[in-house]
Amino acid sequence: MSETPGFPAGAAGPGPPAEGELTARARELDKADPLAAVRGRFVLDAPPDETSGGAAVYLDGNSLGALPRAVPDRLADVIAREWGELRIRSWSESGWWTAPERIGDKIAPLIGAGPGRVVVGDSTSVNIFKAVVGGVRMAGKGCTEILVDATTFPTDGYIARSAARMTGLAVRPVEPARIADEVTERTALALVNHVDYRTGRLNDLPGITHALHSAGALAVWDLCHSAGALPVGLDAHHVDLAVGCTYKYLNGGPGSPAYLYIRESLQDRFESPLPGWNSHADPFAMDPDHTPADGIARGRVGTPDILSLLALEAALEAWDGVSIEAVRTKSLALTDFFLECVQACVPPGRVRSLTPSAHERRGSQVSLACAPALGSSFGQGEIPVAGQVMDELIRRGVVGDFRPPDVLRFGFTPLYTSFADAERAARVLGEVLRALPEVSSGDGG
């Protein structure tokens, strides 16, 4: 099976495809879906045939997860009672002080980590800084460089460059598939995205981690697009450090705090570059000198963002009784079915899948490169046609997103995305592309 399928997609003949057949298949798949009932734990629009035409299919959970139903009441109680009535007593009586580790332990099973290895707080960007500088400080003395995923989400690269400058190391961008060949004994660590945010490609975490360790380097993984979408196995694969956000597949809400994982055997060697008072062994001793806390608490910085943390904790209740393996099975079925529907519904040559067809290389999103409109000139100030296509999709109730220059992204969140959602999205995409001006088919390969 090829890495990049690149179907020059589309139905062979003109006119709409066998629409009824796909709708019926979607209905069957939804009926057989063991996770179907979990959708009820989220606030989502009802399907369009049940209510108004304004209902949207939400395929942007890889950017901002939908609102879990448990969150509003829990947050109202935190505000009215814990803050409003108990006030400062809540730091102990309502468990505010211990929330970063307690919630870390709730995320841990989803990423294959034992208890005491994950702490929640700060943004992903800040945790990347802690992990990269902390990793360099644990690396061998002769190390001169950091490898950074050449296809990384930008913030990781920006932070890694600054961290390298501060620690006197060089940064070398390397494609994830090349890391095993490029790592040397001078490499302190590699910072790699588990799933590529643009294409949805799943990078080989066990293989790359093993190759790094064989060369004496540490493996630092960014799980933003994999946590909550597929099994990660941090402990099993001996990952050293990992970070991730909680507002994508973990549905923690806009700007919800991120997390830091530190392998158990490295925790007593981890020296944070941001040793705030919350990471002190005895924070209330008000000691002028910093003595790091034992265990994962040394990944903390300052006072935790309690409202966001507790919203996240309530959001994680949506995972009660759900196995990440079941999520992965449904995720692959959803993306397979969506690709099949796109092939059937979209006119030939208009889109090309950038997402690997091989299951072991696919995350939980489908990215479609959109052929430019005839006569349009990329990079010369015109709005790329893919951006126009996504605007029109959203107007018609199919919410994905657009990444320059030509990528349409559709995220599949198995906790609440249905097969009917996938079918409707592909059908509407076909309608939008048929309605747009004729395009060149030069990008169909």
Q: Which residues are catalytic?
A: 153, 222, 247-248, 409
Query: For binding to ligand PLP (CB under 6 A), which residues are involved?
Result: 123-125, 153, 155-156, 193, 197, 222, 224-225, 245, 258
Give CA–CA dist 4/14, Å, rounded: 26
DSSP state of 439: B
DSSP 193-223: ESB-TTT-BBP-HHHHHHHHHHTT-EEEEE-
Q: Which is nearer to ligand PLP, 337 or 410 (CB)?
A: 410
Residues of the binding site for pyridoxal 5'-phosphate:
124-125, 153-156, 222, 225, 247, 277, 303
Give CA–CA dist 79/420, Å, rounded: 38
Instruction: Please state the closest distance from residue 248 (CB atom) to ligand PLP, in A.
Output: 6
- Do 257 and 304 form a contact (C-beta atoms < 8 A)? yes
Q: How many CB atoms lie within 10 A of CB 255?
A: 13
Instruction: Please state the closest distance from residue 97 (CB atom) to ligand PLP, in A.
Output: 24
Q: 65 phi and psi, to 5 degrees?
A: -60, 155
Tokens of 117: 């290895």
| Beta bridge partner(s), residue 244 | 259
The distance from CA 381 to its chain's CA centroid, rounded to whole angstroms, is 30
Three-class DSSP category at 430: helix
Instruction: Please state the closest distance from residue 128 (CB atom) to ligand PLP, in A.
Output: 7
8 contacts: CB under 8 Å, gap ≥ 6: 348, 349, 352, 441, 444, 445
Instruction: Please state the closest distance from residue 223 (CB atom) to ligand PLP, in A.
Output: 8
Give CA–CA dist 224/309, Å, rounded: 17
Give CA–CA dist 126/259, Å, rounded: 10
